[in-house]
Structure 1
């Protein structure tokens, strides 16, 4: 049995995320009318992680039926972004003091940090520093310092140690994320799309020219000042930097077990540890069944790759040939029949197996900021 001392080091951030989703599904299955399943799931997983004496006990709690969920204290849902849905924080309740900031209200919590709002500021308070690699808040601060003049990257205003000696990063507070904007289900106009993605591509273009890989681009990491933008890229806690990261992660030996499940590039699913700035990340395909599900979804959508269509993959740790069922290649008008041709062509240029995939620099002209 794993000891209390070492078992947490075997649980990755993605494992924890997947356990939260498992608990959430169990809650929603037992009570379809439940309105705070994510809050309770996060709370139960967090308590299990903190209090379990072994990985077996932790997994048993995360897999237990949800009949006792109502006794679990609720915690706010976690989004990686500094911005949250409007009125997420309860400004009517007494706030707390964090360092020099008073009247701070909790808006989100996660595996390594809690986010508070102090009027026009968002405070990211680092609550967990043990065994959180590749999460590194200190590297995050250093990377953001190098990007201080970069438009469309959320600016880091300051850092400090609070009264409990916790490391705190301070950002402008943003009321929305792209995720919360899409959750409204209001139509997103062409003008909104151009402005939001123009900001995102502008930020990525600058990062990639510096050799920086964000590694967790997703809707909740895109912060918005308003529904019309402007947009800012946030969450650099797992970013790779060619100078600051190279000692622990050489350029040809980058970590694969990183980031958020659905936002993974196929080359990393097959163990390409040399992935570069235009690409994203994943964990190796053999590590769990969820990777096979994602691979199947990609192959069903785009068709299976071949040695001719994806020659680089022949050198990956797990080449995507022969061992998988073959699916026919589909054309993009069939995949996205209701999308306007210019936008569909842009998606087609970005979603490819091989190295001809468009970069942020290639497509930034289509979304001027």
Structure 2
């Protein structure tokens, strides 16, 4: 007998993500013009009970599978797109690749400060290639931190030592990043922004509840299963954990060399070693502003490459020019910083967000203004109101503005 109790409250976000992922994979193969998010959300909203919801998701999967089979029959030359349950086949025209531990046909994707990333079918392998003097990078700590987290943080599938005795972390392979979408130069739709940032803030709410600071929020750290999500927060190599990190980084003497370019928070630039989770919120706000700008995405602040002289000073001046210089009244905590941001810099008048982001929709502009601000009233992930991505999407499309939720940080 169907259960008509509060079945939505018992349905976990992880279960919904799994359904979206399965549906998205099938409809991609079929070329259906709807997203997995839309199909699953329609099932979620219209179902009267859990049995109805499961049946609707199953029906969507069956329909997409049949459509994909028809498309394959109609176009025999079209490459096979594997389902989630299948292992993707290697492109026959592709080089055979290398072996990494038990994984064959591994192909190079990218590299960073300490690691190289390879793809092996539906897996992404992060191979640690540098192990000396790499703090705050710590692969073993990264693995422990990831073991504490759930989606939409990228799931760690396993770790192992390969045949060259290199430490390897294995993840699900995601075909896109938010950085890749932005590099295309096309504006993101409102629906894309809602879905991606709902997942991001859900992830931040989760990690911040553990006292974890990500410390490198940037578009390339947001992995995407499709252009409209689901999105996964990745790149925890420099994350700070209140127990696992304190041997090398006590809470009040953290490393300042964190973050990337235009997403670095100002408290770090001015030597505040006791920074907290607010650095992640600043980076998220700067990234949100970039995604919302029209006609093409553009970083909110200008930042030179890290190897160029004056890159930090250039970022400071860009922040001041864009939103105005801080004062002792607007940023009282900064009085105690190692390098207070007052007096020694040219003073720029504070600008309203309507003039900073005139082309951005008001509901996004309000959220950016709550995140990109100097003082401790910067919105937290909890205050953004993220219980799950679908709540967030509803929040931003409801007749109530964000201010109606009475977040203190929005009422200065």
Q: How many residues end up aligned between the 2 structures?
A: 275
Give 1:130's aligned residue.
132
The match for 2:36 is: none
Q: CA deviation at 1:288?
A: 5.9
Q: Is the 8 A contact 1:309 1:354 kept in 2?
A: yes
Pair 1:326 & 2:347 matched:
yes
Aligned to 1:268: 268
Unaligned runs of 5+ in 2: 1-90, 284-307, 395-412
In the TM superposition, residue 168 of structure 1 has moved relative to its aligned partner by: 0.4
Q: TM-score, normalised by structure 2?
A: 0.64
Alignment match, 1:120: 122
- Asked if residue 367 in structure 1 is aligned to residue 388 in structure 2, the reply is no
Which SS does the other structure have where 1:358 is aligned?
A: coil
**Alpha-carbon distance change, 247 to 108 in structure 1, aligned in 2, over 3 angstroms:** same
Cα deviation 1:287-310 (Å, max 9, x = unaligned) = 962211111111111111111111
SS at match of 1:171: strand
Aligned ranges 1:1-369 → 2 under 5 Å = 92-147=94-149, 150-280=150-280, 289-365=310-386, 367-368=392-393
Distance 1:360 1:189, change over 3 A: same
Listed one character per residue, the Cα deviations across residues 260-279 of structure 1 (whole Å, up to 9, x for unaligned) are: 12211111111110101122
Greater radius of gyration (CA) = 2
Query: Is the alpha carbon distance of 1:368 and 1:210 closer, same or farther for their aligned partners in structure 2, counting shifts above 3 Å?
Result: farther
Mapped to 2, the partners of 1:277 and 1:368 lie a distance apart of: 23
Could you report, residue by residue, the CA deviation over 1:321-359 in whole angstroms, capped at 9, with x for unpaired residues? 111111111111000010111111111111100000111
Give deviations 1:121-174, integer Å, cap 9, x for gaps: 000010110111111111000100111xx2210000000000000000000000
> Structure 1 residues 176, 364: CA separation in 2 closer, same or farther (over 3 Å shift)?
farther
Query: Cα deviation per residue 1:96-142 (whole Å; 9 max; x = unaligned)?
Result: 11111111111112221111111000000101101111111110001
Deviation at 1:233, TM superposition (A): 0.3
Contact 1:278 1:360 in 2 (8 A): no
Structure 1's 356 and 253: CA in aligned 2 closer, same or farther, altered over 3 A? same
SS at match of 2:119: strand
Partner deviation per Cα, 1:48-86 (whole Å, 9 max, x = no partner): xxxxxxxxxxxxxxxxxxxxxxxxxxxxxxxxxxxxxxx
Q: C-alpha separation between the residues in 1 aligned to 2:254 and 2:271?
A: 10
Check the 8 A contact 2:179/2:220 in 1, yes or no. yes
Deviations 1:6-44 (Å, cap 9, x if unpaired)?
Answer: xxxxxxxxxxxxxxxxxxxxxxxxxxxxxxxxxxxxxxx
Structure-2 separation of matches of 1:273 and 1:343? 30
Change (3 A) 1:179 1:225: same
User: CA, structure 1 residues 159+109, in 2 after alignment: closer, same or farther (shift >3 Å)?
Assistant: same
Secondary structure, counterpart of 1:348 in structure 2? helix
Question: Does the 8 Å contact 1:153/1:234 carry over to 2?
Answer: yes
Q: Deviations over 1:168-191 (max 9, x none)?
A: 000000000000011223331111
CA distance in 2, matches of 1:310, 1:90: 59
